[in-house]
Chains A and B, each alone.
Chain A
Amino acid sequence: MGAKRTRERTTLQKVEAGLKRRRRKELIFKLSGEIATGVGILFLVLFFAILLNKGSSAFQQTYLQLDIEFSAEVIAPGGQLDLQYADFDGIVRAALQKELPEISGRSERRELYRLASVGAAYQVHDVIAENPGLLGTTQSIWVPASADVDMLVKGNIDAAVDEALRTLSDQQIDWINRLDEAGRLDLKFNSALFSNGDSREPELAGIKGAMMGSFFMLAVTIALSFPIGVAAAIYLEEFAPRNSWSDLVEVNINNLAAVPSIVFGLLGLAVFINWMALPRSAPLVGGLVLTLLTLPVIIIASRAAIKAVPPSIRQAALGLGASKTQVVFHHVLPLAMPGMLTGAIIGMSRALGESAPLLMIGMIAFVVDVPGSFTDPSTALPVQIYLWADSPERAFAERTSAAIIVLLAFLLLMNLAAVIIRRRMERKW
């Protein structure tokens, strides 16, 4: 008997025999879940670390202090201020020459002149235009240094590598070091980044044009998509009879929310630009395309908000003699508004980050001027990031990261606003 019992194990023994293995499996399973969650978060941390590391330096720019001589012969040849044709480049060059007087020879001087940005001449122009009284005096002015100097000062160009492999010659580096020792070089806040449009020169390139383009586009988008989206949601939730048409609309909206954004760009190109002959590269067209793109998001969010309003409110209003339309517009809509606003902000933040459809409608142009209206050629912040990311200059890589930081800051603000609205105004029934 006893021997037989040891051979035929009890259920308990069977379970206990497998317990160790099962516990190990459990541990592995849990661990892999932790790892998976960790990978996503790790990427996020890594991503922000790299971005901040690369981009934060772009908020500063190297400036060069020069003693600019506003000589009357150059700027005002006939006694009249000649702001259009005066040789401001020459003035900057003369000032540079004065800093390092021993440099002679054509090619050497040309190398020297490259240390200052072409923007230096514009700045000298602006100073004298603003204050003509400075004519004939010598002023000490901080002008932007060229991008190569900037990169050297920030340590992105390594002076130790072979001369042929870097954009600055040994001689230039020597000059830069001497200027630095003389206190003529300094890192200051890069105001050009926020006050200029795009430029071929990294030190002059800014995102103001792109930001204004995005602003105009989002203005069109919110003005169209919020009222239309809310109206569509109201119809579908409150009025639509349950028939095949409303089913079709419903399936349609869910599908549109998942259609690749580039297809909306094709639609914009074919309908708005080719058929309706609206201008290319205009924020108006971009806003129209983004309206169609965000409409499903806003409709879905608005419907959820309307659904969350309890039926008792509708019944009470109906019972007091309100018409269906009055019930909706006087009672349901105000109560659903916080949810709708949240949905609209989420939709807008999606629109702000969208770039693929904008490439299709020509918002990828190189635009130097800051757009001032809905039909001026312009670009958008994400498209500007795309354009800069393609530029080979090192200084543009840094500025791309800075532009990304600005874009993400805007997105963060919008989402924060959505969260605050939700917390502050949402009611639990």
Chain B
Amino acid sequence: MQSTTLILLLGLLAVGAFYFGRDRSLSLVGGPGKGRALHSLPGYYGYFVAIWVVLPALALLFVWILLEPKVVAALVVDGLPESYRSISAGELNLLVNNIRNLASGDVVSVAVDNDLRRAAALFNDYSGMSRVLLTVLVISLATLGGVLAWRNIRPELRARNRVEAVIRWGLIAASSIAVLTTIGIVMSVLFEALRFFQMVPWSEFLFGTTWSPQTAIRADQVGSSGSFGAVPLFAGTLLITAIAMSVSVPIGLMTAIYLAEYATSRVRGIAKPLLEILAGIPTVVYGFFAALTVAPWVRRVGESAGFEVASESALAAGLVMGIMIIPLVSSLADDAINAVPTSIRDGALGLGSTRSETMTKVIFPAALPGIVGGILLAVSRAIGETMIVVMAAGLAANLTANPFDAVTTVTVQIVTLLVGDQEFDSAKTLAAFALGLMLFVVTLCLNIIGIYVVRKYREQYD
């Protein structure tokens, strides 16, 4: 039986168990009118039984699904003749894959001999057996749990507390998924990065100035030695981020000031949602716009002014990224400005300063920490932005500060190294994880500082 139908069946069993449990609790005290003699509401006895039906069976199902392929593969390999046992782990993996494909009638990459055919038949036997065994075990475990719980029902059983404890644990599990995600990110990126640093020393990665990740497949190949100096990537990322920030910080800040201090409520009512639309546009759309509209425009303007402009210039990607970040900067700056108490503003205005003087000399300094925190978050966003640079910035790892040149960024390289077929033991693919580690660490630091500053500052005036 398929595991989805098995889960559906468990659901049906649970519904049945609920009614059985509820009715038993009532019949123990002598009918629906006597429910007051029970510790909990009758429904809780129903839930109690249903939980015992579902949870153990579901746990078994998941463990089984996780372990089944490995166990079956091991059994099949055990059944192979002697000659197959001595091959290496990689070849064995390939062999198991072939057996699996043969068993399901897919394409097989080697000549099919009798051994293989026998193994495939064995594989089908074992998988079929495993499926039958799983169905039987899951259903009997569900029934067993249900019957035990059902027999356990007594009027003084604290069914509500039991059920609520299970709910509580469920909630705790849900909230810990966020922590697990972070751990998962750190683990997955760190382990692969460590493997990378075994092949390439970390000092070369952090301080080398040549990035050319092509590695030779054969020893006699020319020009593909593989060089993993990531400085040009960091420089390119910083260049594009700097361009983006020099667009988004002034515009976002002035927008926030204008909307908070000058705009009539009608203007604000129109302008704010419009800017929010800007924040909701997917980045791939910005990327398309950068590559097909802004980049040719930058090139035309730049060349008419006598500069030599690459067709995938850092300027085009940076400009569009800056526009994308405007709403983020303006909304965070808006929060910071609005957090300054009105009494401070009124005091300055009452002493005769103009609105702009109040803003630049009183409110802005008071809101500065919050604004800086917001800008840090915006920088982290710009560093991690992927689609715009993948589509509009180049692949050439130039070490330059000229915005008209093509540069490449950390995220672009991660995408180019990992898109397509990969093997997980070459320095080339592992380099992507090392870059991912750098990206994660840097953005994490910026985020922690940014969030801390924004939050601390907001509380200061409360």
Contacts and interface: CB of A to CB of B under 8 A. Distances in A.
B258 A382 contact: no
B104 interface: no
B204 interface: no
A26 B354 contact: yes
Contacts of A356: 283, 386-387, 390, 411, 415
Interface in A232-250: 232, 234-236, 239-240, 248-249
A272 to B, nearest CB: 10
Contact of A271 (B184, B288, B352): B184
B254 A400 contact: no
A172 interface: no
A32 B415 contact: no
A139 B360 CA distance: 77
Contact of A353 (B253, B283, B384, B433): B283
Contact of B377 (A37, A258, A401): A258
Contacts of A34: 258, 262
B4 to A, nearest CB: 10
Given A36-B258, A260-B386, A382-B284, A266 B433 contact: yes
A252 B178 contact: yes
Interface string B381-407: 101111100110000000000000000
A251 B411 CA distance: 25
Interface in B230-267: 250-255, 257-259, 261-263
Contact of B188 (A50, A240, A270, A296): A270
Given A40-B326, A261-B384, A255 B182 contact: yes
A236 B188 contact: no
A143 to B, nearest CB: 30
A32 B254 contact: yes
B287 A389 contact: yes
B282 interface: yes
A282 to B, nearest CB: 15
A83 interface: no
Given A231-B175, A408-B281, A263 B185 contact: yes
A217 interface: no
A30 B280 contact: no
B418 A47 contact: no
A135 to B, nearest CB: 36
Interface in A27-83: 29-30, 32-37, 39-41, 43-44, 47, 50-51
B179 A249 contact: yes
A161 interface: no
Contacts of B69: 277
Given A37-B255, A359-B415, A256 B182 contact: yes
Given A29-B359, A259-B443, A263-B189, A44 B274 contact: yes
Interface string B9-22: 00000000000000
A232 B174 contact: yes
Nearest to A246: B175
B372 to A, nearest CB: 16
Contact of B160 (A51, A299, A323): A323
- Size bracket, chain A contacts: 35 or more
Interface string B70-89: 00000000000000000000
Contacts of A382: 282, 284-285, 387
A120 interface: no
A304 interface: no
Contacts of B436: 262-263, 266
B355 interface: yes
A263 B448 contact: no
Given A235-B171, A252-B179, A364-B419, A259 B184 contact: no
A40 B175 contact: no
Most central of B172, B288, B323 by chain A CB within 10 Å? B288
Give chain A's interface secondary structure class: helix
Contacts of B192: 270
B282 A258 contact: no
A317 interface: no
Give chain B's interface secondary structure class: helix
Contacts of B289: 47, 50-51
Contacts of B188: 266-267, 269-271
Interface in B146-200: 160, 164, 167-168, 170-172, 174-179, 181-182, 184-185, 188-189, 191-192
Contacts of A349: 280
A26 B384 CA distance: 38
Contacts of A35: 254
A264 interface: yes
A26 B192 CA distance: 56
Contacts of B447: 254-255, 258-259
Given A30-B258, A389-B391, A44 B280 contact: no
A277 B96 CA distance: 14
A15 B191 CA distance: 67
A389 B436 CA distance: 25
Contact of A262 (B176, B250, B291, B414): B414
B417 to A, nearest CB: 10
A40 B168 contact: no
Given A40-B323, A240-B175, A385 B284 contact: yes
A216 to B, nearest CB: 15
A383 B443 CA distance: 25
Interface in A288-337: 292, 295-296, 299, 323-325
A254 B283 CA distance: 21
A253 B178 contact: yes
B199 to A, nearest CB: 17
A41 B178 contact: no
Interface in B311-353: 323, 326-327, 330, 352
B293 A50 contact: yes
Given A262-B414, A356-B387, A23 B258 contact: no
A359 B419 contact: yes
A232 B177 contact: yes
B284 A228 contact: no
A58 to B, nearest CB: 14
B259 to A, nearest CB: 7
A23 B353 CA distance: 10
A258 B411 contact: no
Nearest to B353: A22
A121 interface: no
Most central of B189, B262, B418, B443 by chain A CB within 10 Å? B418
7 contacts: A240-B175, A251-B448, A254-B451, A255-B444, A263-B439, A359-B418, A386-B391
5 nearest CB pairs, A to B: A260-B384, A33-B258, A353-B282, A270-B188, A36-B254
Interface of A: 15, 22-23, 25-26, 29-30, 32-37, 39-41, 43-44, 47, 50-51, 227-229, 231-232, 234-236, 239-240, 248-249, 251-256, 258-264, 266-267, 269-271, 274, 277, 292, 295-296, 299, 323-325, 349, 352-356, 359-360, 364, 382-383, 385-386, 389-390, 397, 400-401, 404, 407-408, 411, 415
Given A249-B178, A260-B439, A385-B284, 13 more contacts: A26-B355, A29-B356, A35-B254, A50-B289, A235-B172, A251-B448, A258-B443, A263-B189, A267-B181, A269-B188, A292-B181, A353-B285, A389-B292
